[in-house]
Amino acid sequence: MSNQYGVLYVVATPIGNLEDMTERGRRILSEVDLIAAEDTRHSKKLLMHLGNNIPMRAYHDHNECSAAEGLVELIQNGKNIALISDAGTPLISDPGYQIVKLAHDQNIKVIPVPGASAVISALSVAGIATEKFIFEGFLPEKQIARRKRLQDLSTESRTLVFYEAPHRIIAFMADCEKAFGSSRMACVGRELSKYFETVKLDTLSNLNLWLQNDDSQRKGEFVVVVQGNDEAPAIDESEAVRILKILLKTSSLKQAVALAVEITGVKRNELYQLALDMQGQVKSEK
């Protein structure tokens, strides 16, 4: 890596309470040459709070590809740049992938500056198992696509984490109850770290009633943590291999996978890849 290159810092900022800005994050933002911000008007409030007058440049969903090239060129010319989002850790349901990927491609040093994250904050107070979890972010706005994704996740044994906006929270929670069942435990985290912060753990059925009956709880930004399916079948690869081996001898790959899904409850994409790997071996044994 060339010694003349600068550094790209990926800096977490508060998700609400400005006191959550880390000392290291504060220092880095005061030392860089430029701050790439998702919304410069929004981030200006934070920088004013920090007493920071470092220049900013907009970096958001609509200009990500073009802006990334210009920012990387500046780093190649020796400038240090900090990437921040509107709130929390950049790239977590926020823009930033393009510049980080391009920086790696150009052998530029990328340094994380950890801090607040709505995902981790919600998990820490949810009262739901956190050993393994899946972050799904924002699901599709269209109800059909959203319901399909939730149905796909209905047998997932790991804890599920979603983001949701206030105008969709009622529809989203209703779809969760339909896909996961009324008795599935979940935790709604609303306005985390802010003045009207609310954290409520209950069944999906009770949470839906709570939200429907109190419009004040339908305001702000949401993180929803849903318990995984305790009854989801454990993936036993050796048993799946045995079943697929039998089925592939008399059925097409598509039919064998479909039947194996019914028998084992294992996800289709996992069995399909397994069947592809086995197909040649089974044919040679016929």
pLDDT at 73 over 60: yes
**Same domain membership, residue 48 and residue 102:** yes
**Same domain membership, residue 216 and residue 159:** yes
Residue 232 inside a domain? The answer is no
**pLDDT for res 2:** 46
Which CATH number does the domain housing residue 82 bear? 3.40.1010.10
Residue 278 inside a domain? The answer is yes
Which token pair is 117?
A: 């994250």
pLDDT digits (tens, 9 = 90+) for 255-269: 988 898 888 877 788
Q: Which of 226, 246, 272 is the last residue of a domain?
A: 226
**Same domain membership, residue 84 and residue 13:** yes
Considering the chain, what is the average pLDDT of its residues? 92
**pLDDT for res 218:** 94
Residue 65 inside a domain? The answer is yes
Which token pair is 108?
A: 């530029």
Better-predicted residue by pLDDT, 3 or 239: 239
Q: What is the pTM of this model?
A: 0.79
* 251: containing domain: 237-285
Residue 69 inside a domain? The answer is yes
Q: How far apart are CA 148 and CA 257, in angstroms?
A: 20
Q: Which of 226, 246, 275 is the last residue of a domain?
A: 226
Please state the domain count of the chain: 3
- The mean pLDDT value for 173-196 works out to 97
